[in-house]
Structure 1
């Protein structure tokens, strides 16, 4: 098996080596009919086996007892074969302090990332990055350059794989039907972007999946694409995307596609609920905020 590319986390975890492409697991359970355990095991094992020697592998529960239970469950499964290096909540709990060896942030702005880093070095920040999600604020977070960036949904929630041609291709209970980019009035325009990226991928003799993951990876050595997968073959395809390299001409071509075409539709449903630490004038009160399109704060 080819040697996979690696990178390092940031902050207090800067000595930890990880694979250049991570493995998202939400697609295994965040659905009415979860993926069978055997299939999940096969997909996860494929990713583990693809890791170079020495590289590390890394729910949302806010109560201390739940966090302890989660950590204990992980350690029980590991059976003493290795230690748990990084434990990260997907959202900030406004009611509890965070005191761990390494701290990560999720869906935050560049300003918030800098503020947090002044309090304690941030090891990983998780934001959505793909050819469909490369807004100015995303680029601003990338340019902070003080931590590793876990780039989730590098395939635009599966849209950029080229497997989705119409809304009916999604199961009736698939929550992506609620996302504006998958709606009929935006679908045709966005599919045209996928078609152009697919042509570029064909010229390189790679899949569109590998092209998109490779492009996200090319944004910097600190950027770790985080695609989801519930199948072993998809896991290996995703991992190989981290080994893709581009010429300057190819990168310029992809950049032009992103800039000129412009994806249609917000990346999240019209209103998303985020736990956030609300900064209110003359007050440091923590509040539950509703942000249109889940804008980063």
Structure 2
């Protein structure tokens, strides 16, 4: 099995495995929750294989994914992992609501600590940016949580370049989590260069295009009831036809390279730089093993360019999310001078 190395994430001292494990699909959004014993043994297998950077959020379930991880980390596993969770994305009466006010930040952190049954969160992300609260106010509260020893490092998810700069001025940001894959490249223009300028690590979620770059349109045919991907713009029939071609080309190139399409797509993310950690999610041991196999796939600059040509921006049809979900494009917050503490 491929050896999973270590990497520095950001410039504050956090070290993680070169590839992480996204745990969301074990409990939420991608069909019914998976059997708990199977998921715990998958997490244990990941840690034994060297994948020690585990990613969850309080909104996965909600709460059930954190509880699952809490159980999986018992028996000496906690000391071996770097645990990331998130706050700020909530569902209220079926609507997506984002919160970043100080009282909420603190309550969310306490809730996560309890569910995970730990004393300190290694990396705590603001999952989505609350555009009614200056980002300096949210980060100010997170800074207090660092000082109190409840969290070690601060991260942002789906934040614009200007929001990242403002946050980093209050307390160093260790990592920014963003969707980055062969067919989601809009972060390359502004956000990636900003992270690099400030020494912030980059955590790529959905590096396999939510499974599409692993199995193409077969993925959609096999999705269970209640799988959130069924509603995503890229997977709608009018867009799927064009997007199928991207997968077919990746698949052809993978066959020539002697690897799977998912390994090729993941290797492309790994080749973006040693400050990038992809966190593919899976619920199957064989897919997990395949994902770490991507670490041994080597790509030349010509192969990188060829891969990128398959999924040029105008070739990918449909947005990443529907209009109901906040992204970095809508993440600018009011100036600090406008804030009146309640």
Same fold by TM-score greater than 0.5: yes
Following TM superposition, by how much is the alpha carbon of 1:196 offset from its aligned partner in structure 2, in angstroms? Answer: 0.2
Alpha-carbon distance in structure 1 between the residues aligned to 2:250 and 2:308: 10
Are 2:10 and 2:174, in contact at CA under 8 Å, matched by a contact in 1? yes
Following TM superposition, by how much is the alpha carbon of 1:50 offset from its aligned partner in structure 2, in angstroms? Answer: 1.4
Alpha-carbon distance in structure 1 between the residues aligned to 2:293 and 2:180: 18
Aligned to 2:160: 109
Deviations 1:243-275 (A, max 9, x none): 322112211211222227620000101332469
Are 1:214 and 1:241, in contact at CA under 8 Å, matched by a contact in 2? yes
Structure 1 residue 151 corresponds to structure 2 residue 178: no
Q: 1:21 aligns with which of 15, 19, 22?
A: 19
Aligned to 1:122: 173
Structure 1: runs of 5 or more not aligned: 287-297
Following TM superposition, by how much is the alpha carbon of 1:92 offset from its aligned partner in structure 2, in angstroms? Answer: 4.0
Structure 1 residue 74 corresponds to structure 2 residue 116: yes
Q: 2:128 aligns with which of 87, 91, 116?
A: 91
Aligned to 2:320: 267
Aligned to 1:284: 338
Aligned to 1:36: 35
Are 2:162 and 2:332, in contact at CA under 8 Å, matched by a contact in 1? no
Return closer, same or farther for 1:48/1:139 CA change in 2, 3 Å cut-off.
farther
Aligned to 1:195: 248
Structure 1 residue 57 corresponds to structure 2 residue 82: yes
Alpha-carbon distance in structure 1 between the residues aligned to 2:227 and 2:117: 32
Structure 1 residue 161 corresponds to structure 2 residue 214: yes
Superposition TM-score, scaled by structure 2 size: 0.72
Are 1:5 and 1:243, in contact at CA under 8 Å, matched by a contact in 2? no
Aligned to 2:9: 9
Between stretches 247-256 and 85-94, larger displacement belongs to: 85-94
Between stretches 213-222 and 253-262, larger displacement belongs to: 253-262
Deviations 1:114-136 (A, max 9, x none): 2222222110000000111002x
Return closer, same or farther for 1:273/1:134 CA change in 2, 3 Å cut-off.
closer
Q: 2:278 aligns with which of 225, 235, 241?
A: 225
Superposition TM-score, scaled by structure 1 size: 0.82
Alpha-carbon distance in structure 1 between the residues aligned to 2:2 and 2:224: 35
Are 2:208 and 2:266, in contact at CA under 8 Å, matched by a contact in 1? yes
Query: Equivalent residue of 2:124, what SS?
Result: coil
- Count, aligned residues: 277
Cα RMSD (Å) of the superposition? 2.8
Higher helix share: 2
